[in-house]
Amino acid sequence: MELPLLTLLILIPLLGALLILLVNGDKLFKRIALVVGLLQVLLFGVIFFQTSLNSNTIYLSEKVNWFTLPLGKSGVLQTHYHLLLDGLSLPIIGMSILVLLMATFASQEITNKKKGYFSLLLLLNASIMGSFMAQDFLLFYLFFEFMLLPMYFLIGIWGGKRREYASIKFFLYTLLGSLLILVVLIALYMSYGQGANPTVYSFSFDMAQQSNLLQADALLHPNNVSGIGGLSLRTWAFIFLFIGFGIKLPMFPFHTWLPDAHVEAPTPISVILAAILLKIGGYGLLRIAYPVFPSEALQLSFWVGLVGVVSIVYGAWCALASKDLKKLIAYSSISHMGFVLLGLASAQAEGIAGVIYQMVSHGFISAMLFLLAGVLYVRTHDRKIAHYSGLHQVMPVYFSFVLIAFFASLGMPGLSGFMAEFFVLTGAFMAGGSQAIIPFVFPMLALVGILLSAGYYLWTIQRMFMGTFHTSLSIEKSVFTDLSLQEKMTLVPLAILVFVLGLFPQVILQYINPFIEQWMSVVFPASAISL
Partner 1 sequence: MSQSFILVSLICCLPFAGMLMNLWLKKYVAYISTLVLFIINILVFFFISQHETQIETSLIWFKLQNFTIDFNYYINQDSILLLPVVSIISFLVHVFSIGYMAHEKSLSRYFNGLLFFTASMLLFVCSGNLIVIFLAWECLGLASYLLIGFYREKTEAGFASLKAMLLNRLSDLLLLSAFILMFAYYQSFNLNEIIDSQQTLPQLVGWMLLLGVLAKSAQFPLMNWLPSAMTGPSPVSALIHAATMVIAGVYLMIRLSPILPLSVLHGLTTIGSLTAFLGALAATQQFDVKKILAYSTISQLGLIMAAVGIASPQAAILHMVSHAFFKAGLFLGVGALIHYLKDNRVNRETNAQDIRNLGALYKSYPYTFYTILIFSLALCGIPFTSGFLSKEYLLTQAWNSTNSLSIFYFVFIILTSTITVIYTTRLIVYTFFNKRKENFNSAASEKKRVFLFPLIVLSIASFWWIININPFHADFYFFSKTKFITPVWLTIGSTLFIPILFFFAFRYFNSREISNSPNRLLLQGFALDDLQQKLIVQPTLLIGNLLLSIEKKWIDGFIHAMAFATVLFSHIISFLDYWLVDGFVRMTYKASYTLGGWVRVSRSGYVQHYLFWFLFTAVLFIIWVLF
Summarize as ranges the residues that interact with partner 1 (CB under 8 A).
Answer: 169, 172, 253, 256, 314, 317-322, 349-350, 353, 390, 392-393, 407, 412-414, 418, 422-423, 425-426, 429-430, 433-434, 443-444, 447, 450-452, 454-455, 458-459, 461-462, 465-468, 504-506, 509-510, 513, 516-517
> What is the Cα 190 distance to its own chain's centre?
29
**Beta carbon nearer to partner 1, 280 or 356:** 356
Contact 131, 143 (CB under 8 A): yes
Q: What angle is formed at CA 439 by the lines to CA 235 and CA 341, rounded to 5 degrees?
A: 55
Residue type, 418: F
**Beta carbon nearer to partner 1, 56 or 506:** 506
Minimum distance of partner 1 from residue 403's CB (angstroms) = 8
State how far the Cα of 386 lies from the Cα of 450, in Å rounded to an integer.
23
Minimum distance of partner 1 from residue 430's CB (angstroms) = 5
Minimum distance of partner 1 from residue 524's CB (angstroms) = 12
**Beta carbon nearer to partner 1, 201 or 314:** 314
User: Which CA distances in Å does 207 have to 88, 204, 212?
Assistant: 17, 6, 9
**Beta carbon nearer to partner 1, 379 or 463:** 463
- Angle of helix 114-133 relative to helix 137-146, nearest 10 degrees, comes to 160
**Beta carbon nearer to partner 1, 146 or 317:** 317
Minimum distance of partner 1 from residue 187's CB (angstroms) = 26
Q: Which of 389, 326, 358, 356 shows the shortest CA–CA distance to 162?
A: 326
Minimum distance of partner 1 from residue 273's CB (angstroms) = 19
**Beta carbon nearer to partner 1, 186 or 529:** 529
For CA atoms 506, 512, 518, 522, give the dihedral sign: negative
What residues form DSSP beta bridges with 81?
Answer: 64
What residues form DSSP beta bridges with 201?
Answer: 77, 193
Q: Which of 36, 47, 42 shows the shortest CA–CA distance to 5?
A: 47
Instruction: Name the maximum alpha-carbon separation found in the chain.
Output: 79
What residues form DSSP beta bridges with 200?
Answer: 76, 194
**Beta carbon nearer to partner 1, 78 or 426:** 426
Contact 472, 81 (CB under 8 A): no
Minimum distance of partner 1 from residue 252's CB (angstroms) = 9
SS3 content of the chain, % helix, strand, coil (to 5): 70, 10, 20
8-state DSSP, 197? S
Q: Which of 21, 355, 283, 358 shows the shortest CA–CA distance to 130?
A: 283
Minimum distance of partner 1 from residue 234's CB (angstroms) = 28
- Three-state DSSP state, 231: strand
Minimum distance of partner 1 from residue 369's CB (angstroms) = 18
**Beta carbon nearer to partner 1, 468 or 527:** 468
**Beta carbon nearer to partner 1, 145 or 517:** 517
Minimum distance of partner 1 from residue 26's CB (angstroms) = 38
State how far the Cα of 205 lies from the Cα of 291, in Å rounded to an integer.
8
Minimum distance of partner 1 from residue 256's CB (angstroms) = 5
Q: How many residues does the chain have?
A: 531
**Beta carbon nearer to partner 1, 388 or 423:** 423
> What is the Cα Rg of the chain in Å?
23
| End-to-end Cα, the chain, rounded Å | 49
The dihedrals phi and psi of 84, each to the nearest 5 degrees, come to -150, 145
**Beta carbon nearer to partner 1, 99 or 516:** 516
Minimum distance of partner 1 from residue 6's CB (angstroms) = 27
Minimum distance of partner 1 from residue 222's CB (angstroms) = 28
8-state DSSP, 466? S
User: Which CA distances in Å does 194 have to 64, 210, 215?
Assistant: 17, 11, 8
**Beta carbon nearer to partner 1, 21 or 321:** 321
- Residues whose CB is less than 8 angstroms from the CB of residue 74 and which lie 6 or more positions away in sequence, other chains included: 198, 199
